[in-house]
């Protein structure tokens, strides 16, 4: 469905000088350096795959998505989306893909959600019958019916994201690009959006490419992970491959009332334990040791007053790959 071959995107960064004269001369001078935002990457995604595309900020994720959707043209390399080049056939490709940018909405800010959908229906020339089906189906899946007549600016972030997702699906595209769809959402909203994406992928056989900073998104949704850093792909494989490479490091912090005098703790999966007065910090691998089992153990060692779980962020994960 998606093919990228030897894809490059270089940006020229012009040096700007300070001051009054400087701002004029920098218009004329051609002093610049080249930044390789995307550096010779190739991958292909088959129909029905759910791919997590992850990397730290500024790694080239958004640039790649912008090239796949035809917003930016690559410096060199070939892209095919649904068999077409987004560079040459931008409008045709636009009909085959749905895009969601988590950071900004594509809905009409002042209008009720329904009006946004009506406009998009016309834009993508969706037949009336298909449109009615769409509304029924997506009310089922995302419960958008409740706030269909509320202006978008009055929706909560979670509701707006559900609206945005539905809007991206209005023309029933086979391919979805999601740029951080769960950013800033609370746990409930994240759960409902994940359930929806899972359904799209499994029942409707949609091909999905997702960027995220949330490891849970990856774990719960993606059958395949592509990790990018400094414009290069550093890992392309299944979730298993990612696990093998880095494990799934988690951190549990246990605050005891009194520091227990247990010294020997032998559990497979624990990578490191450090004491800070009455607080025990445990780094462990979740694929080897389940959290409930560890929890059971720590409560046996002493009397905990507070237990906190911490998830590693993408930045830490990427560090581990090296």
Query: Of 237, 238, 278, whose CA–CA distance to 254 is shortest?
Result: 278
- Shortest distance (Å) from residue 65 CB to other proteins: 10
Task: Restricting to residues 254-293, name those near other proteins by CB under 8 A.
Answer: none
DSSP 153: G
- Shortest distance (Å) from residue 121 CB to other proteins: 8
Quote the tokens at residue 13: 């960064």
Q: How many CA atoms lie within 13 A of 61 on its CB side?
A: 25
| Residue given tokens 């090239």 in the structure block | 67
Instruction: Confirm if 55 and 314 have CB atoms less than 8 A apart.
Output: yes
Quote the tokens at residue 140: 């089922």
Beta-carbon contacts of 154 under 8 Å, excluding residues fewer than 6 positions away, are none
What mask, x for binding other proteins by CB under 8 A, covers residues 143 to 162?
--------x-----------
Among 61, 66, 190, 206, binds other proteins (CB under 8 A): 66
Stretch that binds other proteins, among 70-78, 140-148, 241-249, 260-268 (CB under 8 A): 70-78
Quote the tokens at residue 282: 């445990």
- Tell whether residue 99 is a contact of other proteins (CB under 8 A): yes
Among 6, 15, 17, 23, binds other proteins (CB under 8 A): 23
Give the integer Cα–Cα distance in Å for 89 and 161: 28
Give the integer Cα–Cα distance in Å for 142 and 154: 18
Tell me the H-state helices in 177-237.
Answer: 187-203, 215-221
- Shortest distance (Å) from residue 210 CB to other proteins: 16
Among 36, 90, 279, 286, binds other proteins (CB under 8 A): 90
Among 43, 50, 108, 138, binds other proteins (CB under 8 A): 108
Closest CB to other proteins among residues 64, 250: 64
Among 5, 124, 220, 237, binds other proteins (CB under 8 A): 124
| Residue given tokens 């769409």 in the structure block | 134
Instruction: Confirm if 125 and 159 have CB atoms less than 8 A apart.
Output: no
- Tell whether residue 106 is a contact of other proteins (CB under 8 A): yes
Among 4, 55, 69, 224, binds other proteins (CB under 8 A): 69
The residues of the shown chain that bind other proteins, judged by CB under 8 A, are: 11-12, 20, 23-24, 63, 66, 69-73, 75, 87, 90-92, 94-95, 97, 99, 101, 104, 106, 108-111, 115, 118-119, 122-124, 151
């Amino acid at each position: 469905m998606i093919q990228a071959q030897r894809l490059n995107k270089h940006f020229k960064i012009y040096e700007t000088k300070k001051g009054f004269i400087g701002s004029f001369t920098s218009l004329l001078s051609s002093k610049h350096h080249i930044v390789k935002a995307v550096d010779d990457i190739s991958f292909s995604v088959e129909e029905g795959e759910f791919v997590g595309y992850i990397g730290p900020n500024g790694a080239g994720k958004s640039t790649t998505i912008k090239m796949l959707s035809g917003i930016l043209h690559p410096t060199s390399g070939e892209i095919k989306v649904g068999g077409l080049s987004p560079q040459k056939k931008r409008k045709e490709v636009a009909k085959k893909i749905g895009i969601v940018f988590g950071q900004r909405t594509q809905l009409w800010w002042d209008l009720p959600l329904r009006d946004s959908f009506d406009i998009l229906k016309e834009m993508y020339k969706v037949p009336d019958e298909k449109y009615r089906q769409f509304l029924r189906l997506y009310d089922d899946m995302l419960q958008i019916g409740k706030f269909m007549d509320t202006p978008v600016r009055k929706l909560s972030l979670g509701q707006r994201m559900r609206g945005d997702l539905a809007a991206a699906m209005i023309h029933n595209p086979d391919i979805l690009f999601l740029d951080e769809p769960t950013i800033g959402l609370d746990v409930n909203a994240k759960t409902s959006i994940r359930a929806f994406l899972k359904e799209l992928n499994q029942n409707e056989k949609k091909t999905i490419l997702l960027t995220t900073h949330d490891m849970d998104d990856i774990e719960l949704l993606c059958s395949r992970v592509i990790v990018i850093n400094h414009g290069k792909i550093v890992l392309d494989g299944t979730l298993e491959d990612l696990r093998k490479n880095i494990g799934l490091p988690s951190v549990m912090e246990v605050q005891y009332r009194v520091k227990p005098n247990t010294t020997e703790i032998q559990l497979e999966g624990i990578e490191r334990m450090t004491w800070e007065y009455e607080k025990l910090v445990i780094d462990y691998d979740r694929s080897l040791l389940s959290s409930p089992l560890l929890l059971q153990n720590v409560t046996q060692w002493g009397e905990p007053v507070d237990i906190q779980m911490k998830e590693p962020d993408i930045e830490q994960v990427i560090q581990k790959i090296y």
